[in-house]
Amino acid sequence: MQAAELNHLKQQFNIVGNALSLNRAIEIATQVALTELSVLISGESGTGKESFSKLIHSLSPYKHGKFIAINCGAIPEGTIDSELFGHEKGAFTGAAEARKGYFEEANGGTIFLDEIGEMPLGTQTKLLRVLEYGEFIKVGSSKIQKIKVRVIAATNIDLLEAIDKGDFREDLYYRLNTVPIHIPPLRERGTDITLLFLKFATEFADRYYIKPIQLTEDAQELLLHYRFPGNIRQLKNLVEQISVLEVDRTINQQTLRNYLPPDQQVLPTLYRHTPTQENLPEREFLYKLLFEMKNDMQDLKGLVVELLNSSTQGKEIIKNHASIFKKLPSLLENEALPAANRNFFQQPDPEPSYTYIKPSISPSIQEPDELTIAETEEEDLSIEAKEKELIIKALDKFKHKRKKAAEVLGISERTLYRKINEYNLE
């Protein structure tokens, strides 16, 4: 593709950047747009997958038809079939009249299914029928309807991993993945970050009738080394905040750092992209460590009780379990445990911390605060409890705005809605 043609497409669809991986994605999109093949666009949340779907539609044989974008994760599981394929009058409670679905509305055009990985298995079966035979049946009807529609799907999760877990149909994956397009995350696009910063700064200056902000060299360096887990969406929000709140229009490193969220505010247990050791997702790895820590504390309690009941064997017990008592060297030096030191084991441990090492994420787990031997057996370290706690914190932080809470937690709004009902958090 010629450079002039490439730049024209970028301007037309508001795509900013010169990274080689981004240019390659645009070239693939323009090539596949001329066909009728289904397309699967992958990339992290906030990378601009919908812009690529619009580019494909505008260059395709379906460009004169409608373009309809659907967020599968935002539609409740109980109504998604009706939303996509329509329903007949009386098909279910509240169906006062017949209704067209999105596929019928998009007939002759393009339908963009974002967050396809959140689609229920039953709906996946119906979508496969549309892709293979171009037909569907409305909810509450027995009549087969024919349509001709271009399907573009997008996902921010690993669908192969979802297939292994039984959450996504393998045949649907290969039917959608005829031509894959991967949108690189912002942190892998180098100086595109500063180009996007300048673009957003100019846009917000025009919107709010203010002078655009500028970055010093040290601030640019900090910007280029920040991970941006929310990608372009996060960068845009960052620029808008600074544009509105800062009086000085020249932003140095310290000022910029005040607007970048610290690592410990990221919620690691629901982050699901970067794998950790043993190829486990980070949430599973974190819970694995918590459970191991709980077991170690229970073992420690049993050993201490045994030591107190039989002080003559205490030293031998400690030597045989030195790995557990490595933080208690005073016990190794005494034949018996003095009564005055029995409260030693009741000292609280440090607060838990989660340290992120760029470019990969690796949580550093410390022992929980105020975890005493007497409380070990009562403490709830279940996955459900920890997940519930994180959801509550996210909802409180954003004043129960579910969309923002879902973005921070790294899950879809529909999944968050289901979890709220499951844990009775209304």
Question: What single-letter DSSP state applies at residue 126?
Answer: H
Q: Is the peptide bond before 359 cis (omega within 30 degrees of 0)?
A: yes
Mean pLDDT of the chain: 79
Domains plus CATH for the chain?
A: 3-184 (3.40.50.300), 190-260 (1.10.8.60), 277-376 (no CATH), 384-422 (1.10.10)
Per residue in 135-154, pLDDT tens?
A: 999 999 889 999 999 999 99
What digits encode the pLDDT tens for the residues 311-332? 656 666 666 665 555 544 444 4
pLDDT of residue 252: 95
Banded pLDDT at 367 (limits 50, 70, 90): very low
Q: Are residues 21 and 189 in contact, defined by beta-carbon separation less than 8 angstroms?
A: yes
pLDDT digit string, tens, across residues 265-323: 334 334 344 443 444 445 555 655 666 676 667 666 666 656 655 665 666 666 666 55
Q: Using the predicted structure, report yes or no on whether residue 73 has a pLDDT greater than 50.
A: yes
| Mean pLDDT in residue range 248-271 | 72
What ranges make up the beta strands (E) of 368-412? none
3-class SS shares of the chain: helix, strand, coil, % to 5:
50, 10, 40
- Is it the case that residue 414 has pLDDT exceeding 90? no
The SS3 call for residue 230 is coil
Q: Please, what's the b/e burial string for 173-194 (b: 16 or more CB within 10 A of its CB; e: otherwise)? A: bebbbebebebbbbbebbebbe
Dmax (CA) for the chain in angstroms is 88
- Continuous H helices in 226-375: 231-245, 253-259, 282-309, 314-320, 329-332
Span 43-62, average pLDDT: 93
- pLDDT band (50, 70, 90) for residue 392: confident
Q: Are 73 and 413 in contact (CB under 8 A)?
A: yes
Question: Nearest CA to 101 among 140, 62, 154?
Answer: 140
Cβ neighbours of 39 (radius 10 Å): 26
Cβ neighbour number for residue 137 with a 10 Å cutoff: 16
